[in-house]
């Protein structure tokens, strides 16, 4: 189904304020409450809205360090990729992992309490990942942009 202007406005509002009431959302996009509710339900059932979450403050949760880890594998054979991805999915500190085109095969975003905690994550998990031939870690000094909102 194609999204119209009202769908885009609904999605934009929900990305910014996921806990907005249906009445307030309807008013914001100039719809009746019942029409707004039906559209949001359709957007959910069609998979445009995957779910609703609470975004936590990493620093307040004790995760002050963000580390980006570039991984190069020894080969890109399907079994090696699958084993690597399965192992990465079990690391609780990994927020994101992307298969990439470029100098690295994967880029991971990891949160840690501090450098010592990252050293623990490195020893406990990263050094045991299958198929890794090269690993490079970069610590974020400051976050300039951080959003979960897609352009709609």
What is the greatest pairwise CA distance in the chain? 58
- Residue 60: inside a domain, yes or no? no
Domain around 97? 65-139
According to the model, what pLDDT value does residue 84 have? Answer: 98
One domain for residues 70 and 111: yes
Burial of 69 (0-12, 13-18, 19+ CB in 10 A): buried
How many domains is the chain partitioned into structurally?
2
CATH code (residue 118): 3.30.70.920
Tokens of 126: 């990263």
Burial of 112: CB neighbours in 10 Å, binned 0-12, 13-18, 19+: buried
pLDDT score recorded for residue 90: 98
In the chain (152 residues long), the average pLDDT of successive 10-residue segments reads 94 96 97 98 97 94 97 96 98 98 97 98 98 98 94 94
Domain membership flag for residue 50: no
Q: Is residue 57 part of a domain?
A: no
Predicted local confidence at residue 1, as pLDDT? 76
Q: 37 and 69 in one domain?
A: no
Q: Are residues 85 and 24 in the same domain?
A: no
pLDDT of 142: 94
Residues 76 and 134 in one domain: yes
Distance CA 83, CA 125 (A): 14
Q: Which residues pair with 106 in a beta bridge?
A: 71, 99
């Amino acid at each position: 189904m194609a999204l119209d202007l009202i769908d885009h406005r609904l999605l934009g509002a929900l990305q910014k304020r996921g806990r907005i009431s249906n009445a307030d959302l309807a008013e914001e996009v100039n719809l009746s409450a019942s029409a707004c509710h039906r559209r949001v339900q359709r957007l959910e059932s069609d998979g445009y809205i995957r779910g609703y979450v609470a975004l936590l403050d990493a620093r307040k949760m004790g995760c002050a360090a963000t580390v980006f880890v570039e991984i190069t594998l020894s080969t890109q054979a399907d079994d090696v990729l699958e084993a690597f991805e399965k192992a990465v999915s079990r690391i609780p500190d990994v927020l994101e992992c992307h298969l990439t085109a470029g100098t690295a095969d994967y880029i991971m975003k990891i949160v840690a309490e501090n450098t010592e905690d990252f050293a623990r994550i490195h020893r406990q998990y990263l050094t045991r990942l299958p198929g890794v031939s090269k690993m490079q870690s970069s610590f974020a000094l400051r976050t300039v942009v951080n959003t979960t909102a897609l352009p709609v």
